[in-house]
Structure 1
Amino acid sequence: MSIDPSTLDALATAPGTDDAFAAVMQEMASASQAETAAPAAAPAAPTLGLGRLMRRIPVTLTLELGSAKVSLEDVAHLRPDSVVELDVLAGEPLSMKINGVAIGKAEVVVSGENYGLKVIEVSDLDLDSFTP
């Protein structure tokens, strides 16, 4: 798969793009330009694998406490002292997600003045298996 370098440049400089994502897009554009600029007879220069580039893309890591199925009528009756029972048991490991996709289990801990998470189990994340 080949992506036009001008497309990568446009993605890297788009409004609202964060610095880490922009840096990855710029690196991909540079690598793509180097591939097209090299003479056909010259040996191919080593390029960064997609997996290596993906490791630098920022993602959102969340810990999902649980969920509950409720009716809109129940939601309409929620008040400041209302209690909604969730579908997880107290003390049970919680679902750890990256951009909404479950990747393991963790538990809540206190880290200084903030909450943190203690990883209990992680799914296999093989970014090197992705190929362009």
Structure 2
Amino acid sequence: MSLKESLDILKENGYKMTKRREEILHFFQKEDKYKTAKDLYEYMESIYEGISYDTVYRNLHLYHKLGILESTELNSEKHFRLSCSEHHHHHFICKDCGTTREINVCPMNDVGNMLHNYQIDGHKFEIYGLCPACQ
């Protein structure tokens, strides 16, 4: 998701764009991988001395609720990254560094056939392991 798309979503939902909120978006845009609330807090603390962990966490969850960020659970901790908005795909996620790689195959093509009497509202498919750099 681009910075402009993220800003548009915030505005459409009645949220102000502050320097801190914009900096959070820059952080995820620059990192382009899954990061923890702690990672973001440490980054924001280096720029905005005295920023509270609660402020960082509230904004993470706001962005997640609005679909700006997507999340996953790695090593019993929630990790976030900018949502992908190009096309339908899934991810391989490195359990060590959070790097992702697109997977352009969807298992729902087969699963949907098996659940033909069910209403499916959404799905998420992720593969976890170690990227070549972390092996």
What is the TM-score with the length of structure 1 in the denominator?
0.26
What is the TM-score with the length of structure 2 in the denominator?
0.25
Please say which structure displays the higher CA radius of gyration. 1
More helix per residue: 2
